[in-house]
Amino acid sequence: MGALNVLIAVSIAYVIFLFGVAFLAERANKRGQGGFLRMPVVYTLSLSIYCTAWTFYGAVGYAARSGLEYLTIYIGPSLVMIGWWWLLRRMVRIGRTQRITSIADMISSRYGKSNVVAAGVTILAVIGTTPYIALQLQSVALSSSVFVGASGGQDVELTSVALYVAIGLAIFTILFGTRNLDVNERHYGVVMAIAVEAVVKLFALLAVGVFVVWFVADGPADILERIEASPISGWHISGGRWAGLIFLSAAAFLCLPRMFQVMVVENDNEDHLRTASWAFPTYLMVMSLFVVPIAVVGLELLPEGSNPDLFVLTVPLATGNEALAMLSFIGGFSSASSMVIVAVIAVSTMVSNHIVLPIWLWANRMEQVTLSGDVRHVMLLSRRFSIVGITLLGYLYFQLSGGGSALAAIGLIAFAGVAQVLPVLIGGVFWRGATRIGAFAGMTVGFAIWMYTLLLPSFGAWSPFIMNEGLFGILWLRPQAMFGINGMDPLLHAMLWSISLNTLTFVVVSLGSFPTPIERLQGAQFVNVFDHSTQAPSWSGGVAQSEDLMVMAQRILGARETQDLFEREARRQGVNGYLPDPDPEFLQVLERQFSGVVGAATAHAMVSQLVGRASVSVQDLLAVANETAQIMEYSSQLEAKSEALQRTARQLRRANEKITQVSEQKDDFLSQISHELRTPMTSIRAFSEILRDSEKLSTKDKLKYSDIIHSEAMRLTRLLDDLLDLSMLENRRVKLNYERATLSDLLDDSATVALSGEEVDLRVRRNRASENIEIYSDVERLRQVFINVIRNAQKYCDAEKPELRIKVAQSDARLTIDFIDNGSGIARKSQEGIFDKFVRVNASKAGGAGLGLSICREVMTSLGGEITYLPGQGGAAFRVILPESATPPVQ
Amino acid sequence: MSERRIVFLERQMYRRHRLVDAIRILPFLGLILWMLPLTWEREGPSTISTSSATVYIFLVWFVLILLSAIAATVLGKGGDREISEDGQRPEEH
């Protein structure tokens, strides 16, 4: 009786201690003092819920029965952790970016947020987890009964102990597991309690191990000798089981709902994984270090037929170490309770989000959800009921199965069941072609084979006929020898067929089916999670009214959080108040918030109901899926931009040069014009002074001086006329008088006028036949141009026998008249400026003001034609081009 | 001066990439070492004893953990950043 009381007292004290730890951790976090809660070591220790009571007690029993085979259960997860870079890192990043709440949520989110897939995974998880919870309850009940029985106390009612434990754990889980709804606000209390329990169970097992090695035996050397002498001295493990179990434990490590919960959902910082990658294998190694010694010593010490599963407890008891036995009991209790708590949280979240809530929403219609009914309340309630339900299920399973040895074997069977998610999980993370239908088909096939070949035979559910002759008498369908594979280990056999056919179905159906847009979008986001961590299953279209969204959000997230969120979003959009526009970005943020509470599938369904759209647009899809194209486009845009910039720079440079030139020309113009005006003015002034002041001038002189004054005044007038003319031409204020004329006549006139009264003889060569063209233009203006050009030749041609050729050519659209002399022409660098004002190529021969060609150009522009310098003709060459309109067809 | 700096940075990035390669290879090394027991004889006089098998398996474990810890620590020393697939900083979000 005393032993039982002590046991109960210690257990209750330990439970109170756990509650205290969880409570203090929650409070510290709320006060912002929870820095220690986010240390990598806490994350690593929380992973230790992998080591349940089954591994705490069972590993020793396993070793006593099958030697080193138990190590496979630890080696698999060690390999997964050491290979974190491949898969875990991706899973954690995806879990964080997509706000994943459970493994079912992860799978459903990847496969187009399908609730059917999520429900399937949930059912698998419940079936796989329930026996496991039963196992934990059994271990606690069994260990306490052994403890009390060995102390000579009364027998303990196994089932009642299990019931109390179940109730206690359910209360703890409800208190600390449903405190906050949003999974992204992590369960710091629970995680901290689990970390403490991890230390307790490790310490307990180490204590027993140290006791066995150094106090019962004489140190490591002695232990190795004892191992040699024991029944498990040789290596008798079949290769298939060794490899198969390593694979199975690795798969289970990734797929078990409780592992996913602590590894991905409760992960606070991706960097913690880096530490856990070596720290957790260390934990596993240390946990398994003393298993064989304890088993060997137990086999030696204890009478034949005693349960090896309880050696951890019975060895200290048999050697009279009650305190150590108590510690060992607490260690086992820790393992059991932490597993149950996390497993129940994980599975209840799945059940509530993927089964209860969708049914409730479906039953209540979406319109009512937004207007009445408190989703938040419903969710909390459903999650609490799920917790109670699953714990109860575990208890019932324990009671119905009678807690026999069948339960011990269930651990691996459950592993194999949960491992059916693995192909879909890995395919979803690495293969964009994986589709929802493929995933569903694969999991269904795997699950069915697992049930048929492993789970049901373990209950003895099949008749001997089916076991021996196969279903419907088909030999190939024998549950433990499918397709004629005989004599294989049943577990290995089931695993081989279920996983391989699962994968095959998944791949083949995926290859043959076509994913919906949202599947493709999610697929791209999962597979390329490191490329674009901006996740955009975006909503376009603004059917939803912000107010409706707010009403709904308040029911899910709570009023305060919703208002904060909406205000923040409104501010981001630059809107005042609490109602942001329902733009895609905002809807996406909102959906992600929802999915942290109700899971991706339900969140998507809720928002899509309200927004009135159930899928993403092609644009959204392209935006994410074609990121390569985007990058390429972006770089080509950059290229185009830089090209445009270069072009602009070139243009600017040219403009700058031009401006500099123009400014210089303006200066030249001013000095030129002053000079041009000054010269005649000076002589006018001088001669008029002479006329005024000298009284004795002869009439002849007077006449001569007056002539000079007159001619200088004329020159001034001409200059001013030219300037005025040019200015008017430039401003297009010239009235043009169009009339008909023959080109040859016009050229005759021009040559005569241009060459009259000049001393140097310029010979003009023409081809009169080609000049017989009737033109329609401002003849006077055109004549002005011709005269100017001919006069230039006459003035500047430096040949010994100056000669000017006038060539007329009529091409399809225009008439060209070339004036080519036989001089040395104009230097290339001067060619560009010759049409500018006051530019004289040869300043020494300056006769005019340098306005002639400027005027010519303006005239030609006014007439719709042009005048250009024609290089490469052996002398100075000007081409006058008349437009088509100037040469009307001859009537 | 500036050229040297660039060479140094590239070298660092190169080291980082090789470090990630090492981290990727480690699980395969472990798998191969731990699959060696498949080749052990299970019956007959030359059966491996449980004690030596224990020592071998735990030795592999210890070496793997040691290598993994060294790699993870060196990777962490590169800064507080997270590392993306190609060893570059991902965008903040």
From residue B13, alpha-carbon distances to A124, A363, B9, B89 in Å are: 44, 57, 6, 12
Task: Considering only the beta carbons, identify the residue of B27, B53, B82 that sits closest to A82.
Answer: B27
Nearest CA in chain A to B72: A274
DSSP calls for A194-260: HHHHHHHHHHHHHHHHHIIIIIISSSHHHHHHHHHHSTT-B----HHHHHHHHHHHHHHHHH-HHHH
* Sheet of strand A763-766: strand arrangement: A763-766, A803-810, A815-821, A877-882, A866-869
**Rounded distance, CA A297 to CA A225, Å?**
11
How distant is the Cα of A159 from the closest Cα of chain B, in angstroms?
Answer: 38
Residue at A243: amino acid letter: A
Q: In terms of C-beta density within 10 A (0-12 exposed, 13-18 middle, 19 or more buried), how is residue A574 classed? A: exposed
Residue scoring higher pLDDT (A90 or A598): A90
Residues in chain A: 891
**Chain A residues in contact with B50 (beta carbon < 8 A):** 67-68, 227-228, 230, 232-235, 292
Going from N- to C-terminal start, the domains of chain B cover 15-37+52-77
Q: Chain A to chain B, count of Cβ pairs less than 8 Å apart?
A: 118
Weakest-pLDDT range from A122-131, A324-333, A365-374, A764-773:
A365-374
Contact A556, A594 (CB under 8 A): yes
A587: distance to nearest CA of chain B, Å? Answer: 17
Q: Are A790 and A756 in contact (CB under 8 A)?
A: no
HEC-encoded secondary structure of A613-670? CCCCCHHHHHHHHCHHHHHHHHHHHHHHHHHHHHHHHHHHHHHHHHHHHHHHHHHHHH
- A545/A70 Cα distance (integer angstroms): 59
- What ipTM does this complex have? 0.83
Give the DSSP per-residue string, A838-852. T--S-GGG--S-S-H
Sign of CA dihedral A78, A81, A85, A91: positive
Q: Do B61 and A78 touch (CB under 8 A)?
A: yes
pLDDT in tens, A834-847: 887 766 666 555 45
The identity of residue A709, as a single letter, is I
| Pair type for strands A763-766 and A803-810 | parallel
> Do A228 and B50 make contact, defined as CB atoms within 8 angstroms?
yes
Q: Three-state DSSP class for A757?
A: coil
Give SS3 for A815: strand
**How many residues appear in chain B?**
93
* Residue in A67, A79, A85 closest to B20 by CB: A85
Helices A220-229, A291-301: axis angle to 10 degrees equals 60
Residues forming a β-bridge with A738: A778
Q: pLDDT tens across A248-305, in order?
A: 999 989 999 989 988 988 887 888 899 999 999 999 999 998 998 999 888 888 887 7
* Cα(A97)–Cα(A674) distance, integer angstroms: 79
Structure token digits, residue A492? 């290995």
Nearest to A82 among B20, B26, B49 (CB): B26
Give long-range contacts, CB 8 A cutoff, 24+ apart: B54-57: B54/A68, B54/A224, B54/A227, B54/A292, B55/A224, B57/A68, B57/A71, B57/A75
Q: Is A738 on the interface with B (CB under 8 A)?
A: no
Average pLDDT of chain B to the nearest whole number: 74
Q: Output the six-digit token pair for A722.
A: 């030219």
- Using an 8 Å Cβ cutoff, are A17 and A199 in contact? no
Backbone angles phi, psi at A503, to 5 degrees: -65, -45
Handedness of CA A523, A529, A531, A532 (dihedral sign): positive
Work out the burial of residue A28: count CB atoms within 10 Å of its CB; fewer than 13 is exposed, 13-18 middle, 19 or more buried. Answer: middle
> Which of A277, A282, A624 is most worth mutating to test chain B (most B CB atoms within 10 A of its CB)?
A277
Cα-Cα end-to-end distance for chain A: 138
Tell me which of B25, B31, B54 to substitute to probe the interface with A (most A C-beta atoms closer than 10 Å). B54
Torsion angles phi and psi, residue A234, rounded to 5: -100, 165
Q: What are phi and psi of A113, to 5 degrees?
A: 55, 45
- pTM score of the predicted model: 0.66
Q: Å from B85 to nearest chain A CA?
A: 6
User: Is A714 an interface residue toward B (CB < 8 Å)?
Assistant: no
Least Cα distance to A340 among A416, A250, A257 occurs for A257
For chain B, say whether A652 makes contact (Cβ under 8 Å).
Answer: no
Average pLDDT (A644-672) is 85
**Do the bridges between strand A866-869 and strand A774-778 make them parallel or antiparallel, or are there none, so unpaired?**
unpaired
Which of A85, A234, A278 has its CB closest to that of B49? A234
Q: What is the structure's pLDDT at B89?
A: 40
What structural domains and CATH numbers belong to chain A? 2-408 (1.20.1730.10), 435-514 (no CATH), 517-625 (no CATH), 644-730 (1.10.287.130), 739-886 (3.30.565.10)
CA distances (Å), A37 to each of A42, A46, A172, A185, A343, in order?
Answer: 7, 11, 19, 13, 21
Q: Are A144 and A7 in contact (CB under 8 A)?
A: yes
- pLDDT score of A760 more than 90: no
Q: Would the CB atoms of A239 and B37 count as touching at under 8 Å? A: yes
Q: How far apart are CA A678 and CA A746, in angstroms?
A: 36
Q: Are A500 and A483 in contact (CB under 8 A)?
A: no
Amino acid at A177: G
pLDDT at A145: 82
H or E element: which one contains A681? Answer: helix A627-693
Instruction: List B residues 39-78 in contact with A (Cβ-Cβ < 8 A).
Output: 40-43, 47-51, 53-55, 57-58, 61-62, 64-65, 68-69, 72, 75-76
Give yes or no for residue B7 having a pLDDT over 60: no
Note whether A534 contacts B: Cβ–Cβ < 8 A.
Answer: yes
pLDDT for B8 equals 57
**Average per-residue pLDDT in chain A?**
80
Contact between A202 and A287 (Cβ < 8 Å): yes
Confidence of residue A407 (pLDDT cuts 50, 70, 90): low
What SS3 string covers chain B? CHHHHHHHHHHHHHHHHHHHHHHHHHHHHHHHHHHHHHHCCCCCCCCCEHHHHHHHHHHHHHHHHHHHHHHHHHHHHCCCCCCCCCCCCCCCC
Q: For chain B, give the percent of residues with pLDDT over 70.
A: 68
Q: Of A38, A81, A82, A237, which to mutate for an interface test with B (greatest number of B Cβ within 10 Å)?
A: A82
Interface mutation target, options B16, B18, B24, B34, chain A, most CBs of A under 10 Å: B34
Percent of chain A with pLDDT over 90: 10
Give residue for tokens 């449980």. B50
pLDDT tens, position by position, A426-462? 999 999 889 999 999 999 999 999 888 888 887 776 7
